[in-house]
Amino acid sequence: MNHPSGKASGSARLAILVLHAAGLLTTPGCRTASDSKTSQATPPPVKQAPSTQPTNAVSVRANEAQTGWTNLFDGRTLTGWAVTDFAGRGDVMIEDGRMILEMGIMTGVNWTNEAALPRLNYEIALDAMRVDGSDFFCGLTFPVGEDPCSLIVGGWGGGVVGLSSLDGQDASSNETTKYMNFENGRWFAVRVRVTGKNISVWIDNDKVVDADTEGRRVSIRPEVEASKPLGIATWSTKAALRNIRLSRL
């Protein structure tokens, strides 16, 4: 249909041309140069989720060779373990994949498959936590040939680390004695290596014991006699244990 006024129609066409030239009017389905630039703009970067660092114990386990390690604790039962017959002991239970040693005078567990236990050239490792209390939360007794030895972690008031005993001197008074800070509620990765001539110990990534044993008398204190040949005990402390495992060298 024609516009009723030819003059008005001409003026309208002129106005449309002006608007097109100015880029203020577009034909449906078409884009202006500015539209094209906007559509090709780089999208904002996607935010990455913050990385989370593993706990110290997990980090240490990740660095261990996975082949050759045998789990000694299934995280569900005490299969393979017996509660050590200490006088005044606390209860032992399993909670959330952890072995809980409740506070007593001494509380502990023993590995029952003695026949399958190596005496030399092996490593034993575990994660240990002092849940409550202020003394040793990991008294690990282990064989060294025909003799037993104990690693004490957090003894003598909470901070002593060392071997009991070397030439009759216990963890608080021989060359392996160290003083460390063990915060309650934190996991610590403990690893012991036993060879015919040496006992070495790592806590987290730090080597804390490097003791030559050739020609020396290796023994234990009378209090942990019931922990032989392989056992873990606490003193007046509640502890949690997990990831108990052994590897032959």
pLDDT digits (tens, 9 = 90+) for 18-48: 344 444 444 333 343 444 333 344 433 333 3
Q: Report the CATH number that the domain containing residue 153 is assigned in CATH.
A: 2.60.120.560
Find where tokens 């282990």 sit.
142
Number of domains in the chain: 2
Cα 151 to Cα 10: distance, rounded to the nearest angstrom: 103
Find where tokens 């972690």 sit.
153
Which of 160, 188, 158 has the alpha carbon at shortest distance from 174?
160
Residue 202 belongs to a domain: yes
Cα 145 to Cα 142: distance, rounded to the nearest angstrom: 10
pLDDT (average), residues 120-143:
98
Residue 45 belongs to a domain: no
At residue 50, does pLDDT exceed 70? no
Q: 235 and 173, same structural domain?
A: yes
What's the pLDDT band for 66 if we cut at 50, 70, 90? Answer: low
Residue 121 belongs to a domain: yes
Q: 165 and 80, same structural domain?
A: yes
Q: 60 and 34, same structural domain?
A: no
Residue 16 belongs to a domain: yes
Q: 177 and 74, same structural domain?
A: yes
Q: 69 and 16, same structural domain?
A: no
- CB burial of 163-182 (b: ≥16 within 10 Å; e: otherwise) equals bbbbeebbbbebebbeeeeb
Residue 11 belongs to a domain: yes
Q: 129 and 92, same structural domain?
A: yes
Q: 62 and 27, same structural domain?
A: no
pLDDT digits (tens, 9 = 90+) for 210-246: 999 999 999 999 999 999 999 999 999 999 999 999 9
Query: Percentage helix, strand, coil, to 5, in the chain?
Result: 15, 40, 45
The pLDDT of residue 68 is 87
Residue 1 belongs to a domain: no
Residue 47 belongs to a domain: no
Q: 101 and 71, same structural domain?
A: yes
Q: 133 and 103, same structural domain?
A: yes
Least confident interval from 47-61, 116-130, 141-155, 181-195:
47-61
The pLDDT of residue 190 is 98
Q: 195 and 169, same structural domain?
A: yes
- Which residue type, as a one-letter code, is found at position 186? R
Residue 49 belongs to a domain: no
Token pair in block for residue 54: 């593993």
Q: 119 and 19, same structural domain?
A: no
32 is in which domain, residue-wise? 6-39
Cα 75 to Cα 34: distance, rounded to the nearest angstrom: 65
Query: CB neighbours (10 Å) of residue 51?
Result: 5
Q: 82 and 35, same structural domain?
A: no
